[in-house]
């Protein structure tokens, strides 16, 4: 009887601890051709890249779009059962897959949208130089009291 109990306990412990032997989780497949760096490097340095870019964009206006959060989302976003990209509340979100495993909370999505922007065709503004079209004209018809 004691032996059975010990065996059961051992099995339970092994069962519950099983995920920790599984190694780091696999990231969901991304849609882009190539990431900015190798997976090992991305795993180590993505936060540094994002942080550096964030300050450069915000304070200096440098808008190199290749290595921003928006670019991450465009390639890595995971679709849910309804075919729409999942939010950060889903454990399928590509950030959460690793961050849950590493027990590191990710705060980006308190402000940033966790879903990529749907691709849309934006009407381009006319490409004119200011001097061509922005000549001030004088209104000859007064509107105020005479």
Partner 1 sequence: MSGCKISQTRRDVLKTVAGTAALLAPGVFLVAAPAPSKARPEDSMAQPSVRWGLLIDTNRCDQECTACVTACKDEMRLPSHGRPASDPQYIRKVELAEPKTGFTRSLPVMCQHCTNPPCADVCPTGASFKRADGIVLVDRHICIGCRYCMMACPYKARSFAHEAQTGQAPHNPRGKGCVEACTLCVHRVDAGVVPACVEACHAKGRGAMLFGDLMNPEHAITQVVAQYPTSQIRADLKTDPGIRYHGI
- Taking CB under 8 A as the rule, does residue 38 contact partner 1? no
The overall longest dimension of the chain from CA atoms, in Å, is 108
- Taking CB under 8 A as the rule, does residue 19 contact partner 1? no
- Taking CB under 8 A as the rule, does residue 52 contact partner 1? no
What is the number of other CB atoms lying within 10 angstroms of the CB of residue 45?
13
Classify the phi-psi angles of 69: left when phi > 0, otherwise alpha if psi is within -120 to 50, otherwise beta: alpha
Helix (H) or strand (E) holding 133: helix 130-133
From the CB of 120, what's the least distance to partner 1, in Å?
Answer: 12
* 28-36, 41-49, 92-100, 134-142 -> range binding partner 1 (CB under 8 A): 134-142
* 12-20, 29-37, 41-49, 132-140 -> range binding partner 1 (CB under 8 A): 132-140
- Taking CB under 8 A as the rule, does residue 28 contact partner 1? no
Residue with Cβ nearer partner 1 (44 or 70): 70
Instruction: Write the DSSP assignment of 16-57 as a string of letters.
Output: HHGGGGS-SPPPPPPSSS--SS-HHHHHHHHHHHHHHHHHII
Which residues of the chain form contacts with partner 1 (CB under 8 A)?
Answer: 54-55, 58-65, 70, 87, 110-113, 116-117, 125-131, 133-139, 142-146
């Amino acid at each position: 009887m004691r032996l059975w109990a010990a065996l059961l306990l051992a099995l339970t412990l092994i069962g519950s601890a099983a995920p920790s032997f599984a190694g780091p989780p696999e990231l969901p497949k991304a849609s882009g051709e190539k990431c900015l760096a190798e997976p090992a490097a991305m795993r180590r340095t993505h936060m540094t890249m994002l942080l550096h870019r964030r300050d450069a964009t915000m304070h200096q206006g440098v808008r190199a779009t290749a290595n921003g959060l928006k670019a991450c989302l465009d390639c890595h976003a995971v679709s849910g059962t309804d075919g729409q990209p999942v939010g950060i509340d889903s454990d399928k979100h590509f950030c959460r897959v690793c961050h849950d495993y590493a027990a590191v909370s990710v705060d980006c999505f308190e402000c940033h949208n966790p879903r990529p922007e749907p691709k849309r065709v934006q009407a381009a503004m006319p490409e004119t130089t200011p001097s061509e079209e922005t000549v001030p004209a004088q209104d000859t018809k007064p509107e105020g009291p005479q």
